[in-house]
Structure 1
Amino acid sequence: MSKLANVDHYQVTEDDVKRTVNTEVLVVGAGNAGMMAAAAAAEKHADVMVIEKEASINLMRVGLGGVGTNAQKRAGLTINKYDLVEYLAAFAQHNVDEGLIYHWANHSAEAVNWVEDNILKPNGAHLRSEPDAMVTSSAYQGFPTENDPTIDDKTFTSYGKWFQEKVDSMGVNLQFNTALVKLLTSNNQVTGAIVKDLAKDEYVQVNATKGVILCTGGYSANKDLLKQWNPLALKKNVFNDSPRNNGAGITSALNVGALKDEEPAECIFDRGLVPIGTKTDDMYVQTATYQDWLWLGSHPLLKLNMRGERFANESVPYQFIVNAASKQPGYLYSMIWDDNFDEYAKQFHMLGCARVGFPGYMASAQKLREDTEQYVKKGLVVKADTIEELAEKLHLPVENVKQSVAHNNQQVVNNFDKDFGKEPFRLTPIDKKPYYGCILGGRILCTFDGLRVNKQMEVLNDQYDPIGHLYAAGNDSGGFFFGSYPDRVPGLAASHAQTFGRLAGQQAAAN
């Protein structure tokens, strides 16, 4: 099994410990899964400690997926659970534990409703069900799973501060700037952990009599682990948007005999702007601020490989175009569009965070234009009055780009994409100058191939037996995703984390 990468203090022993702390439930990681686990365990009257290596909790996601939530009932919305679960299993080619997906579907409403009742409503907010999941083609099937925190039904409401206040009021001991070093075991059971107080530069032993819950969020920030478990991710992606996720939770469990998913799973967005001339092997920027994130990148505009040739249907889940580009020269690709792009955005009917207007992140087509123009000023998006000039600025073969644009425009006239079958209403001309272009790569939000767990969220060993008092939730837990993220089930990642975090907290507290 893999040792903890890039942590030379893994060999720390009890002799190096400066002090000892006792608790019942130790939660590692203060994100969506960890905060839910802490609240759930505290509700069961357990003594709970949360450690987080950063100085704050992680982003509490908006857009919470669920099946049968109170918000959906108020909206008169019903989702066929069996169709949804089979879709998710089929999306993963059944390289998943389908029972875990049903377990999520059966318990997701409980977690979503808890957030609304305990976090949002006391602060004047609520959840709004998003019923709009129009199916436009077999490649664009969607499910109306999204529930959005809001006060006015027009904008998102952030609730991380409220959540932290809630767990504080429940008596949870939140320890920031504290990192997991190693798990402690006795008689084939996890008894606690050695952690490092980063502010004091000292090791602390935490004894956890009821269990340890790992919620550290995957390994997308750890290039060594990516090389070992998912090397293609380093070629597909030019940004990592989760710099906290160093794999500490997964590797600590592997070191006590845990079983991990054998094939990678990840969530990638097609919005990574790169300087023209970039080589993907030379770029993997760690950012917590969505640096050079082009919202327009997810829209089904003309996308060409680095030889100026169209290579895939652009009207697919976010990650699919990045996957397709990984089969093209250089792994990166270009996107070309004209000055009517804000009007085209109104007709595309995007789902999730790519849509224009609430519950998307772009309030209007004008905001989308302003977001795009900021990258013109930075030189990451280029403008030109001719296609030839645009191709030259993008360092693409001029004649190939001219042919690709002319072919695109003819398909718009024909109202038919004979190459890849993109829906006619998503075919848009490139005929109004100035013309725009950029070079894009993937940006990985997180990895999903985690530790194998059962329905009690217990981490399994290589005999598929539970390791006593060890639990995992969120992106540290596996068996749920495979390959690409199914973004046509909006809010699934956040709901997976919060639902399984809640279940893990309840189970640990019941020991």
Structure 2
Amino acid sequence: MLNLQNVDHYEVNDIDVKRTLNTEVLVIGAGNAGMMAAAAAAEKQAQVTVIEKEDSINLLRLGLGGVGTNAQKRAGLTINKYDLVEYLASFAQHNVDEGLIYHWANHSAEAVNWVEDNILKPHGAHLRSEPDAMVTSSAYTGFPTENDPTIDDKTFASYGQWFQEKVESMGVNLRFKTALIKLLTINGQVSGAIVKDLSNGEYIQINASKGVILCTGGYSANKQLLKEWNPLALKKNVYNDSPRSNGAGITSALNIGAIKDEEPAECIFDRGLVPIGTKTDDMYVQTATYKDWLWLGSHPLLKLNMRGQRFANESVPYQFIVNAASKQPGYLYAMIWDDNFDEYAKQFHMVGCARVGFPGYMASAEKLREDTQQYVDKGLVVKADTIEELAQHLQLPVANVKASVKRNNELVNDNIDKDFGKEAYRLTSVNKKPYYGCILGGRILCTFDGLRINKQMEVMDNQYHAIPHLYAAGNDSGGFFFGSYPDRVPGLAASHAQTFGRLAGQQAAQN
């Protein structure tokens, strides 16, 4: 059993509770899962309180996955649910509760449609279905699950503020700067929580007569928990883009007898720019601003290990190249490309956020070049007129880099990747100066190995019995992912959080 005091950095001994508050449903965490849980419980006429340790709600994700959404129906798009679920289960080597994945597939449209009808449409926005999530490699089949909030079908419509206004209009009490300290139980049933008002240091007891819903996110910001549950993540990743996620929800439940997934699961992006000479053991930057995030890093350009040798097919899901690099010296890797990179981007057919053009975050090839240039100006991307000079700047073995570039260009000329099997349309030459290069590592967006839950979103104990009145959703909940994130199912993580948050809110309100 974990000691909460050790992992959350809050004192829990000799708590002097200054006051007591009463609610029916207590939601802990104001992100994708928590806000949906709050709205769903309030719709059922429950009295709802949400606590959030930061001073604002968390980012509500833009790409929302779903099966059979209204946006998809308008687009004439049909997804085979059974193929999708089997793909997700097989991607995880069936180290998942497949019934939970079906439960998501069966209820995802309800959650996505609710966002469109109740949050977007009142503000003149809607969801646009993205139908082209194809990938020509049969090993990495894509599914067109993504639905994007937009007003003009050209840019994203950020809806976090609209969502907050909606739940407040429903009578939900949002308490910011309020941190979970411990869960409270009476005769084995969760009865509420001790929380801390971070603005004045006071401890408050919140009684929740219908239930507590844990939606605090995973534990990627907690290096102690990473060392215990996922030590390789600290070697693969040089950035953590979820500094809120300290594991408080998971550890609080473990401390009252809950169980969690036994093997790690995570979402990693291959966009972590590091200074040349960085040692991965020395770098784990916590950032909420996507510091030194290279969008180009996800493109299938030539990637070499720290000995200047190609080591994997670059045309794989984002996380896979980071996984592959973890089997190479130093865990980091180099990417090398030439001055045609903005033209190459047009032929790659990236999906999700890496694509060029809406709903990718780079509106055009010109914007991609501008984004890359800012890191040239910072010295994180180096530019040179010869491959030899580029290798020297990157501190890579010159002879190996020259040989790797020569071999790459031969494969392009032959129109077949005889070494690693990259699709021909994603093979690109490195022969037009200036040449560019950088050193990359992983950026962990979140962890997914959470508390074991059933289809009622109830947290389970070590006998797989539900802990009464305790629920979990989002990255606090487990059984859904294993190992790497399946990014060829765009919007899955956000949809998992919002769908299960909605189901948890409905369930808790019915007690």
Aligned-partner residue type, residue 287 of structure 1: T
Q: Deviations over 1:253-283 (max 9, x none)?
A: 0000000000000000000000000000000
1:25–1:209 CA contact under 8 A, matched in 2: yes
SS of the residue aligned with 2:443? strand
CA–CA distance in structure 1, aligned partners of residues 417 and 439 of structure 2:
23
SS of the residue aligned with 1:232? helix
Q: How far off its partner does 1:11 sit?
A: 3.2
Q: Which runs of 5+ in 2 are unaligned?
A: none
Q: How far off its partner does 1:135 sit?
A: 2.6
Aligned-partner residue type, residue 460 of structure 1: M
Q: Which runs of 5+ in 1 are unaligned?
A: none
Counterpart for residue 325 of structure 2:
325
2:230–2:264 CA contact under 8 A, matched in 1: yes
Q: How far off its partner does 1:8 sit?
A: 5.3
Counterpart for residue 179 of structure 1:
179
CA–CA distance in structure 2, aligned partners of residues 8 and 425 of structure 1:
50
Q: Deviations over 1:94-133 (max 9, x none)?
A: 0000000000000000000000000000000000000011
SS of the residue aligned with 1:382? strand
2:25–2:211 CA contact under 8 A, matched in 1: yes
Counterpart for residue 482 of structure 1:
482
Aligned-partner residue type, residue 102 of structure 1: Y
Counterpart for residue 276 of structure 1:
276
Aligned-partner residue type, residue 259 of structure 2: L
CA–CA distance in structure 2, aligned partners of residues 332 and 263 of structure 1:
23
SS of the residue aligned with 1:445? strand
Matching of residues 452-471 of structure 1 within 5 Å:
452-471=452-471
Counterpart for residue 396 of structure 1:
396
Counterpart for residue 286 of structure 1:
286
Counterpart for residue 414 of structure 2:
414
User: What is the TM-score of this pair, normalised by structure 2?
Assistant: 0.99
Counterpart for residue 193 of structure 1:
193
1:66–1:109 CA contact under 8 A, matched in 2: yes
SS of the residue aligned with 1:21? strand
Aligned-partner residue type, residue 74 of structure 1: R
2:104–2:500 CA contact under 8 A, matched in 1: yes
Aligned-residue Cα RMSD (Å) equals 0.7
Q: How far off its partner does 1:198 sit?
A: 0.4
Q: Deviations over 1:350-371 (max 9, x none)?
A: 0000000011110000000000
1:268–1:443 CA contact under 8 A, matched in 2: yes
2:7–2:225 CA contact under 8 A, matched in 1: no
Percent of pairs with identical residues: 85
Matching of residues 93-172 of structure 1 within 5 Å:
93-172=93-172
Please tell me whether residue 11 in structure 1 is matched to residue 12 in structure 2. Answer: yes
SS of the residue aligned with 2:372? helix
Counterpart for residue 261 of structure 1:
261
Q: Deviations over 1:298-329 (max 9, x none)?
A: 00000000000000000000000000000000
SS of the residue aligned with 1:84? helix
User: What is the TM-score of this pair, normalised by structure 1?
Assistant: 0.99
1:269–1:442 CA contact under 8 A, matched in 2: yes
1:221–1:246 CA contact under 8 A, matched in 2: yes
Counterpart for residue 240 of structure 2:
240
CA–CA distance in structure 2, aligned partners of residues 8 and 237 of structure 1:
23
CA–CA distance in structure 1, aligned partners of residues 428 and 327 of structure 2:
25
Q: Deviations over 1:24-53 (max 9, x none)?
A: 000000000000000000000000000000
SS of the residue aligned with 2:231? coil
CA–CA distance in structure 1, aligned partners of residues 213 and 10 of structure 2:
21
Matching of residues 347-362 of structure 1 within 5 Å:
347-362=347-362
Counterpart for residue 437 of structure 2:
437
Aligned-partner residue type, residue 226 of structure 2: L
Q: How far off its partner does 1:6 sit?
A: 3.7
Q: How far off its partner does 1:57 sit?
A: 0.1
SS of the residue aligned with 2:455? coil
CA–CA distance in structure 1, aligned partners of residues 141 and 350 of structure 2:
12
CA–CA distance in structure 2, aligned partners of residues 385 and 231 of structure 1:
40
CA–CA distance in structure 1, aligned partners of residues 481 and 10 of structure 2:
32
CA–CA distance in structure 1, aligned partners of residues 276 and 501 of structure 2:
42
Aligned-partner residue type, residue 327 of structure 1: K
CA–CA distance in structure 2, aligned partners of residues 480 and 296 of structure 1:
29
Q: Deviations over 1:427-455 (max 9, x none)?
A: 00000000000000000000000000000
1:140–1:315 CA contact under 8 A, matched in 2: no
Aligned-partner residue type, residue 11 of structure 1: V
Counterpart for residue 385 of structure 2:
385
Counterpart for residue 52 of structure 1:
52
CA–CA distance in structure 2, aligned partners of residues 120 and 469 of structure 1:
32
Please tell me whether residue 473 in structure 1 is matched to residue 473 in structure 2. Answer: yes
CA–CA distance in structure 1, aligned partners of residues 136 and 158 of structure 2:
31
1:10–1:182 CA contact under 8 A, matched in 2: no
CA–CA distance in structure 2, aligned partners of residues 355 and 256 of structure 1:
44
Q: How far off its partner does 1:339 sit?
A: 0.2
CA–CA distance in structure 1, aligned partners of residues 367 and 445 of structure 2:
23
